[in-house]
Structure 1
Amino acid sequence: MNHNLIKTVDYLRIRIGWRLDLASKSGAAIPLLPDLDYEESTFFTHFLAQSGLNELELLFLLLALAPHLQPGFFDAIIREHLPDGGDFPEFGGVRGSNHRGLLPTGETALFVLAGNDLEKRLALYDLFSPDHFFARERILSLEDVKTGEPRLSGRLILDPDYVELFTTGRVSAPALSMNFPAQRIRTDMEWTDLVLPVPTFTQIRDIEHWIQHYDTLRTDWKMGQRLKPGYRVLFYGPPGTGKTLTATLLGKYTNRDVYRVDLSLVVSKYIGETEKNLANLFDKAHAKNWILFFDEADALFGKRTETRDAHDRYANQEVAFLLQKIEEFDGLVILASNLKSNIDPAFARRFQAMIHFPLPNAAERLLLWQKCLPPSARLAPELPMEQLAGRYELSGAAILNIIQFCALRALSRKTDVLATADVVEGIRLEFQKEGKLV
């Protein structure tokens, strides 16, 4: 039970009532913030202890949270303390399109925290600054308003992740959609499952070092002003050679979530929507230290052609905006392509590293056959693994597909032996996908 959250919301109710009474009467004593027991183990108490919010910042946060807890929170207080009703513009607030209750605005926050005292109100404008903790960490923001209307008439918007954290103690991964064109990718595999040439592995370790030591380099070694934000790397090579798995393992071993951006959802037919959705994605990725992975990146970052119509112009604008966000992103961005030559040289110059993922050689293929073969299965004795590795040029993903195909057939026959005929058929099917003959 989140007793401290309940106590602080009750205090907010009393504080708003006090402010409303003060506006119509005089001489009321300011209510005191109750003591909060930080020994209670909830994300809310952890957040308060770590962030060091003062009382006004706490109230500001609670104002944005209250409608998520009780839809009629503000309406009930107003009815109790202003029973005669009437218009009260000082309180601010707007009605939503679906939500029936009053939603707080920046004006609501200023009234509750400072009343009509202009000096105190001006002192609180820092709460809405982009440099404030709330804005920097994407916790609280003000909704944009129509041109000509006061900025503080915009709604207070509490990031949905924090609403979920304060109320349930967890955060659900955002779902892939037109509004959020990315999906989290994970793996149960380990670095030891990845088979790559030594030069490729060495460059991958360099990325790990950047993730682990970038903050030290930027701050303690005072190189922040000289370094461009973030790290951009291109993975290139044939399909199935480990590009996606490597990106996922980098996240797994550096405790960062990896989100694969769906390029088919990036370009929207609605002008302006692409920019808004991408800005939201990169802002969230920055706040949460995500790794962003763009698979088949040449679909967007390939060599540009001349502009023929309005659609081409908008597409080029959206690509330019995406490139700008990638350059501004203070984190790791990985782009993957089958061919390095597919990437426009103007984009290629912006990468800190370009890492080649070649098809495995015979020794590497042998290792892949050995790693992919289930411990409870075995190849038919007339089909030595060395022969398979030396004869057939296959990627790691193709070898895994073949073993899965053969293992399922073996299970259907209630045996643990992968038959020669099944292995040959599996290889033929993999070559067929690539338009090759066995």
Structure 2
Amino acid sequence: MNTNPEFKYLKEFIQYRLDQYFQPDKDNQEPTIPEMSEWTLYIPDFIKEAGLDKEEKLVLLLCLSPHVQSNFLDSIIQNKLATTGDFPQLGGVRGKNFRGFLPTGETTMFLLSGINFQENKKTYDIFHSNHFFAKHQILWLEKPLEGEPKLSGKIIMSQEYVELLTQGKTNKPSFSMKFPAQVIETKMDWDDLILSDETSKQIQELHAWITHGNTLMNDWGMHKKLKPGYRVLFHGPPGTGKTLTASLLGKQTGKDVYKIDLSMVVSKFIGETEKNLSNLLAKAEKTENILFFDEADALFGKRTNVRDAHDKYANQEVSYLLQRIENYNGLVILASNLKSNIDEAFVRRFQAIIHFPLPKFSERLLLWKNAFPSKVKLHSDIDLVQLVQKYELSGAEIMNIVQYSCLCALADNKKTVYQSYIVNGIQREYQKGGRIMR
């Protein structure tokens, strides 16, 4: 670890501060922190672009050091304090299971301020809720015991950032109350998705952003002019391919697609929805995965006229969601059956609005032809062209009918699908949607 330039610097700096305190007459020269480009840690682009100063970089290394080498801080401190005894100004605590030195806010204050305690404000700024570290949930101070100073709390780095900085990747977050989202996957390919030409063209534009967005923002310098991330609205009737399209985008670009469980995000308690969404986004944006909000009306619906306190907070909630989504680094897809259900403030900020209409005749015919398994044959009494012309169905409805028809054939111990199977299947789908079959 001492061969890593960033931790070699951290060791030298801690020694420098201790020497400065205990040997003020000694000619101590402050070490120079290496550029982030020389660090052996994996530093995400958004941290590099944040323009962290020397003190902020030092805190990042200090907090990470126990996770990299358990005795790193002890080996430095104990050598210096062997003859001086206890030194409470240095702060630090021992963990419940981890017995090494864990830095606290007091440790940070000593290292940043040295013998000039008038500079303590910098420490408080770094641990402020508005700081870059807190906003991205990279690191923060543990809440101290009642009545104890704020800086006595130990510095905590989120496990996701420990993994990201040391391994270059994070383990997939598991579904929980703090992360109410699950990865959606598909075994289908783009050839299985039948969309209109206009919709397909717009989907390719999304693919281009996922593939080249970092180049546009960073290499071409557009991060100064454009907001981070990309926001898109999928709207159209149920079963027209919105969820499948999101899954295929992830599959093609190597991104995980997290479908948000809105029932766990939306809360009747004031402030809880914002808190839930903030936790979710903070975890998701570490890897810039794709977020998919199905039936997004529940979160991003139109604001109401203020009639009571509940309406007031509901509108504040929508405003917060707008701001938070707008700062997300990755791709956010909102899906709704009706575009008109989404608040106009969100609509104005979408980079793309993509309509998923019911398939036209040619598209429905292709869906029917591709839907049946190769091991069954269609009876000669089936006229697919007539069925396509007569019944306007979505892709999902067609697949449901095909599944029903195949199960009927298997139940009759046949490998042939008959017209009656398909007609009965269509009737079932019409009944589900409250439509009358003619």
TM-score, normalised to structure 2's length? 0.74
Change in Cα spacing, 1:76 to 1:406, as seen in structure 2 (3 Å) is farther
Structure 1's 308 and 148: CA in aligned 2 closer, same or farther, altered over 3 A? farther
Structure 1 residues 106-135: Cα deviation after superposition (integer angstroms, max 9, x where no partner):
333565x6895549x9899699589xxx94
Partner of residue 33, structure 2: none
The amino acid across from 2:141 in the alignment is E
What is residue 31 of structure 1 aligned with on the other side?
A: none
**Native 8 Å contact 1:191 1:249 kept in 2:** yes
2:115 and 2:344 mapped to 1: Cα distance? Answer: 58
Q: CA deviation at 1:410?
A: 3.1
Separation (CA, whole Å) in 2 of partners of 1:63 and 1:225 = 30
Return the alpha-carbon distance in structure 2 between the equivalents of residues 80 and 238 of structure 1: 69
Task: Provide closer, same or farther for how the CA distance between residues 227 and 389 of structure 1 changes in structure 2, counting only shifts above 3 A.
Answer: same
Q: Deviations over 1:137-184 (max 9, x none)?
A: 958412265799876544322221244568999743223333223322
Alpha-carbon distance in 1 for matches of 2:178, 2:138: 19
Instruction: Tell whether the 8 Å contact from 2:297 to 2:342 is kept in structure 1 after alignment.
Output: yes
CA distance 1:376–1:84, change in 2 (3 Å):
farther
Q: Quick one: structure 1 residues 310 and 139, their matched pair in 2 at CA, closer, same or farther if it must change by over 3 Å?
A: closer
Structure 1 window deviating more from structure 2 (56-65 vs 173-182): it is 56-65
Aligned residue in 2 for 1:188:
187
Structure 1 residues 406 and 73: alpha-carbon distance in aligned structure 2, compared to 1, 3 A threshold? farther
Match of 2:141 in 1: 143
What does residue 329 of structure 1 align with?
Answer: 328
Aligned-partner SS, 1:304: coil
Deviates more, 1:210-219 or 1:386-395: 210-219
Deviates more, 1:160-169 or 1:334-343: 160-169
The residue that corresponds to 2:354 in the other structure is 355
RMSD: 4.9
Instruction: Tell me the CA shift for residue 367 of structure 1.
Output: 0.9
Structure 1 pair 149–275 and aligned structure 2 pair: CA distance change class (3 A) = farther
Shift of 1:240: 0.3
Q: How many pairs align?
A: 419
Residue in 2 that maps onto 1:386? 385
Ranges in structure 1 where 5+ consecutive residues have no aligned partner: 28-43
* CA deviation profile, 1:22-53 (whole Å, cap 9, x unmatched): 899989xxxxxxxxxxxxxxxx977499999x
Which residue matches 2:244?
Answer: 245
Q: Does the Cα contact within 8 Å between 2:112 and 2:123 map onto a contact in 1?
A: no
| Residue 321 (structure 2) pairs with residue 317 (structure 1) | no
Cα deviations by residue, 1:241-270 (Å, 9 ceiling, x for unpaired)? 011111222222233222222222223344
Change (3 A) 1:46 1:86: closer
Equivalence map 1:2-13=2 (5 Å): none
Unaligned runs of 5+ in 2: 27-38, 49-54
8 Å contact 1:181–1:261 — kept in the other structure?
A: yes
Matched-pair contact (CA < 8 Å) for 2:378–2:417: yes
Which whole-Å CA distance do the structure 2 matches of 1:294 and 1:84 have between them? 60
Report if aligned partners of 1:107, 1:153 keep a CA contact under 8 Å in 2.
yes
User: 1:267 & 1:427 partners in 2: Cα distance?
Assistant: 36
Q: Give 1:30-429 correspondences, 5 Å limit.
A: 47=42, 64=63, 88-94=87-93, 103-109=102-108, 116-118=114-116, 128=126, 135=133, 140-143=138-141, 152-164=151-163, 171-219=170-218, 221-429=220-428
| SS of residue paired to 2:358 | coil
CA distance in 1, matches of 2:333, 2:44: 35
Shift of 1:365: 0.9
Aligned 8 A contact 2:108 2:123 in 1 = no
Q: CA deviation at 1:384?
A: 3.2
CA distance in structure 1 between the partners assigned to 2:73 and 2:219 by the alignment: 47
8 Å CA contact 2:409, 2:415 repeated in 1: yes
Comparing 318-327 with 87-96, greater Cα deviation is found at: 87-96
Hey, what does 2:36 align to over in structure 1? Answer: none
Q: Structure 1's 85 and 100: CA in aligned 2 closer, same or farther, altered over 3 A?
A: farther
The CA distance in 2 between the partners of 1:302 and 1:324, in whole Å, is 15
Asked if the contact 1:142–1:152 (Cα under 8 Å) also holds between the matched residues in 2, the reply is no
| Contact in 2 for aligned 1:16/1:77 (Cα 8 Å) | no
What secondary structure is seen at the aligned counterpart in 1 of 2:306?
coil
Question: Post-superposition shift, 1:238?
Answer: 0.3
1:79 and 1:85 in contact (8 A); partners too:
no
Shift of 1:193: 1.2
Q: 2:113–2:120: 8 Å Cα contact kept in structure 1?
A: no
In structure 2, relative to structure 1, the CA distance for the partners of 1:149 and 1:202 (3 Å cut) is farther
- For residues 154 and 144 of structure 1, what CA distance do their matches in structure 2 show? 5
* Contact kept? 1:19, 1:115, Cα under 8 Å: no
Q: Tell me the SS of whatever aligns to 1:359.
A: coil
Give the deviation of 1:396 after TM superposition. 0.6
- State whether residues 267 and 315 of structure 1, in contact with CA within 8 Å, keep that contact through their aligned partners in structure 2: no
Contact 2:247/2:257 (CA < 8 Å) preserved in 1? yes
Match of 2:285, SS state, is helix
